Structure 1
Amino acid sequence: MKLRKVTAASAAVLALALSATACGGDSKDDASSSSSGGGGGTIKVGIKFDQPGLGLKEPNGSFAGFDVDVATYVAKQLGYEPNQIEFVETKSADRENALARGDVKFIAATYSINDERKKKVDFAGPYLLAHQDLLVKSDSDIKEGTDLNGKNLCSVTGSTSAQNVKNDIAPKANLKEYGGYSECIAALQSGVVDAVTTDDSILAGFASQSQYKGKFKLAGLKLSNENYGIGVKKGDTATVDKINAALEKMVSDGSWQKAVDKNLGPADYKNEPAPKIGNIVK
């Protein structure tokens, strides 16, 4: 009788062990899984939530914009369907930290590639060449960068755009930094600032919104070249290679141009041709 009890207990332990092994075989890392999709895994992707035409969280909770379309295409090539993507808001000042902490697998958020950032993260791409510009009121007399001396200039905390102007163009500009571009646009509308500076793609997205049509204009200045890349955790070269392959496919099959036309075309944005992978325009 004692022997039969031990045998039953052993069988129960074995059954539990086999069950645990089976469950473990199906589990996936939320940030790094690369199945062919539909297996229950998810991928966390960093985007902006407040940039019309690029990365915008809609009132109904959906997401829209060029960066969103690029991120969705790339995730698909990595093995994830749209419903397996969890978009995470990554503001400019927190992008490097979000990657270092592993909060997201990659970031597609108007993330300009530069030497300082490359010390902290790796980049795939670039996938868009934008240019720094100024957004001003439609009746503004600001026509060039030096006109900003003595004027109030707004940009976002952590962005390189405002510092470019302060260092190289208008050292006497009064810089105001806010947490998001929507705050800068509100300040421009109310007259608190005289100009907002960032990439022309971002500014065009705001200027094309229905509530702002006719109120703002782009100054038309190419103050810098902004090579948008997809940020990846430092050292994750395998993911960089996969994303680069996805971006090349997106261009070759026409999906890239369709995404540009859909998201930035309404603002009459004149985009540069799709950049070559690894080709950084200084």
Structure 2
Amino acid sequence: MQLRKVTAATAAVLALTVGATACGGGKKDDNGSSGGGKKITIGIKFDQPGIGQKTPQGYSGFDVDVATYVAKKLGYSPDQIEWKESKSADRETMLQRGDVDFIAASYSITPERQQKVDFAGPYLLAHQDVLIRSNDTSIKSPSDLNKKKLCSVAGSTSAQNVHDKLAPKAQLQKYPTYSACLTGLQSGAIDALTTDDSILAGYAAQSQFKGKFKLGGFKMTNENYGIGVKKGSPLKDKINKALEDMVADKSWQQAVEKNFGPADYKNEPAPKIGDIKS
């Protein structure tokens, strides 16, 4: 049985006047990208280890690697990228305003979002899953979460969806962040944490947690990660070509192994452009 995560409602905004330039700087060329030393502005998550994270050393994660590869194919070196935090509730607004050129931020393609923005990709097929302790043999299916303490993070509906649809006797425990959930999972205060498997793998791959957790492999939803662009942007086709190149030259698989490998993440094969799994 599949679930669909409820996304945060976004405010309706008016598009800026035609011809406005991206905040990353510089006049854009006829292809919808800037060059010649100009900047490109890319939206990512700043707080998702393994996906998109800002650290004292810079930016890291699978989405960062994908975005950097795409930017290079568009003619930009890493030092020409301006990274901008794109929180889930702000993504459509940022694209519509022209705050960013594109967004790669665990951004699931949905019909509702496609009414507001365009998507290149998908470039990763993720699934809602659970993270449990490596030595836990009691949770082998979603129904085994009944009477278990399931971490519920503020602003996320994943745990509530599991409670409502698959494990009605699951005991939801509210924590402020996923990092706090991991600490609770490690100590035994909670039994499981749920969100996208890619996000869980990124957290579990952190050095302090290596070998301590495992994914359930339940695949409770399909989450097709796409790269968001403004409606009608000519960048969409260029990004799609870059994503195809990334798969073909093995850079995509290398990025998966680099960012998710320590969590023993069983990733799906790279999706075909335009192949959105419901």
Give the unaligned 5+ runs of structure 1. 1-27
The aligned residue for residue 30 of structure 1 is 23
The aligned residue for residue 166 of structure 2 is 169
CA contact (8 A) 1:92 1:159 kept: no
CA contact (8 A) 1:135 1:218 kept: yes
Give the unaligned 5+ runs of structure 2. 1-20
Change (3 A) 1:112 1:29: closer
* One-letter amino acid matched to 1:213: K
Change (3 A) 1:111 1:239: same
Asked if residue 42 in structure 1 is aligned to residue 59 in structure 2, the reply is no
Asked if residue 107 in structure 1 is aligned to residue 103 in structure 2, the reply is yes
Q: TM-score with structure 1 length normalisation?
A: 0.78
The aligned residue for residue 4 of structure 1 is none
Give RMSD over aligned pairs. Answer: 2.6
Change (3 A) 1:31 1:222: same
The aligned residue for residue 19 of structure 1 is none
Alignment counterpart, residue 74 of structure 2, candidates 74, 78, 90: 78
C-alpha displacement at 1:132, in angstroms? Answer: 1.6
Q: Counterparts of 1:125 and 1:228 in 2: how far apart (Å)?
A: 7
Bigger drift between 76-85 and 176-185 goes to 176-185
Q: Deviations over 1:81-111 (max 9, x none)?
A: 1111111222223323332333322111111
Q: Counterparts of 1:149 and 1:243 in 2: how far apart (Å)?
A: 43
CA contact (8 A) 2:201 2:260 kept: yes
* One-letter amino acid matched to 1:229: G
Change (3 A) 1:179 1:248: farther
The aligned residue for residue 222 of structure 1 is 219
* One-letter amino acid matched to 2:23: D
Change (3 A) 1:74 1:99: same
The aligned residue for residue 153 of structure 1 is 150
* One-letter amino acid matched to 2:54: K
Aligned residues: 252
Q: Counterparts of 2:229 and 2:191 in 1: how far apart (Å)?
A: 35
CA contact (8 A) 1:53 1:263 kept: yes
Asked if residue 262 in structure 1 is aligned to residue 258 in structure 2, the reply is yes
SS at match of 1:260: helix
The aligned residue for residue 197 of structure 1 is 194
Q: Deviations over 1:201-254 (max 9, x none)?
A: 221222222211333222221212221111223x23422222112111222222
The aligned residue for residue 234 of structure 2 is 238
* One-letter amino acid matched to 1:30: C
* One-letter amino acid matched to 2:34: S
Q: Counterparts of 2:55 and 2:93 in 1: how far apart (Å)?
A: 25
Q: Counterparts of 2:176 and 2:123 in 1: how far apart (Å)?
A: 25
Asked if residue 137 in structure 1 is aligned to residue 133 in structure 2, the reply is yes
CA contact (8 A) 1:187 1:193 kept: yes
Larger-gyration structure (1/2)? 1
C-alpha displacement at 1:179, in angstroms? Answer: 6.1
Q: Counterparts of 1:214 and 1:66 in 2: how far apart (Å)?
A: 20
CA contact (8 A) 1:31 1:102 kept: no
